[in-house]
Amino acid sequence: MQLTPPCAAASPRLAQRLAERILAELRAGAMRRGTHLAEQALADRLKVSRSPVREALALLAGSGVVERRPNRGFFLACDAAALPAPALAQPAPEPDEALYQRLVEDRLAGAVPPRVSARALARRYAVARGRLLGLLGRAEAEGWAERLPGRGWGFPPVIDSPEAYTAGYRYRLIIEPAAMLEPGFHPDPAVYRRLRAEQEALLGDAVHRLSRAVLFAVTSGFHEALIGLAGNPLLLEGLRRVNRLRRLVEYRLYGDTERLARMAGEHLRILDLLEQDEREAAAGLMRAHLHRSYEARAGAIGGSAGAKGGDAKDCILDLHKSP
């Protein structure tokens, strides 16, 4: 899906990214047609002002995803399961990708403090302030930077240590397989069809042409959509929080297109089992899938995620083998 603004926007890239984030949240949240999309609530959740949120909703309205009702605001135009997948469209090329990845790495390494001025960052990277603000706007839209009152910028905590990374995977190993076995789990063929189309696209050329941010949105969105079917909003919110925290370190690994294709293949096998109502088998495969994903990523933060005598990795193995 390519989102096309009905009119020129003051910050088209930020509005586009926010539109894609809003669309991903709508899909993962299994919202129903006619749901009111409150601008202030979205702005608070996305940590931006109402103005770019309004522009993003206008983009979605121009694409038929939401409808604008005079004096009432924006409303979802169809059930979430029927929403299109923006990541399957050819995205606009991102400028300054190398500089952006440098900012990511510096944030993970602690070289960028939790609070800093745009001027200081512009000096650090020897770029014009306007160019630097473009990078920060992208980080803000992706949820790992926020504009502070005044002229400063803040960087909320992220997973940046082996112990925290292991804890995140232990948490996912506990909740994601279990969610499939919840009494309230409701299979949704429309959700399955959408997820299948996205994962099959990763087996084609999409894995080579999409940015790391979009690839992360597609792969993490797969897990969020499935846990959303459990009918427990606390499970979904917990997984979303972990995904927000691990986003930056995952960017390091999203250049490995072969691994991403293998991951998509495993996602498709999980869908096969769910479509056959083999939830026990699907939960077991999800557990194995998460275990393999952890092993592939274990060195992403300062060496092995089990840096302290191997204990962290052994915990993952023990949990994987447990009933």
For the segment 53-75, what is each residue's pLDDT rounded down to a tens digit?
A: 888 888 888 777 888 888 788 88
**Confidence bin at 299 (pLDDT 50/70/90):** low
Q: Which position has the higher pLDDT, 106 or 160?
A: 106
Q: What is the pLDDT of residue 13?
A: 67
Among 170, 315, 320, smallest CA distance to 238 is for 170
* 73-82, 183-192, 293-302, 313-322: range with lowest mean pLDDT: 313-322
Residue 288 burial by Cβ neighbours in a 10 Å radius (0-12, 13-18, 19+): middle
Taking the CA atoms of residue 264, residue 312, residue 226 and residue 1 in that order, the dihedral angle to the nearest 10 degrees is -50
All domains in the chain, ordered by first residue: 12-84 (1.10.10.10), 97-154 (1.10.10.10), 162-321 (1.20.120.530)
Q: What is the CA radius of gyration of the chain?
A: 20
The model's pLDDT over 70-94, given as tens digits with 9 standing for 90+, comes to 878 888 888 776 666 554 444 444 5
**Confidence bin at 172 (pLDDT 50/70/90):** very high
Single pTM value for the model: 0.67
Looking at the DSSP assignment, which residues form a beta bridge with residue 68? 74
Average pLDDT of the chain to the nearest whole number: 79
Q: How far is 314 from 90, CA to CA, in rounded Å?
A: 41
Q: Which two tokens stand for residue 258?
A: 């072969």
Q: Which two tokens stand for residue 245?
A: 């925290």
The model's pLDDT over 226-262, given as tens digits with 9 standing for 90+, comes to 999 998 999 999 998 898 888 888 887 777 778 888 9
Distance in angstroms between the alpha carbons of the first and the last residue of the chain:
42
DSSP state string for 134-153: HHHHHHHHHTS-EEPSSSEE
Report percent pLDDT > 90 for the chain.
Answer: 26
Q: How far is 147 from 132, CA to CA, in rounded Å?
A: 13
The model's pLDDT over 1-50, given as tens digits with 9 standing for 90+, comes to 444 333 334 456 677 778 877 877 777 666 778 888 888 888 777 767 78
Contact indicator for 246, 159 with CB cutoff of 8 Å: yes
Please give the C-alpha separations between residue 291 and each of 31, 176, 236, 287, in angstroms, as whole numbers.
31, 12, 20, 6
Contact indicator for 2, 16 with CB cutoff of 8 Å: no
Is beta strand 146-147 parallel, antiparallel or unpaired with respect to 152-154?
Answer: antiparallel
Q: What is the pLDDT of residue 185?
A: 96
Q: What is the mean pLDDT of residues 147-159?
A: 85
Q: What is the pLDDT of residue 28?
A: 63
Contacts of 5-9 with CB under 8 Å at 24 or more apart are 5/55, 5/58, 5/59, 5/62, 6/58, 6/59, 6/61, 6/62, 7/58, 9/55, 9/58, 9/59
Contact indicator for 31, 191 with CB cutoff of 8 Å: no
Contact indicator for 153, 118 with CB cutoff of 8 Å: yes
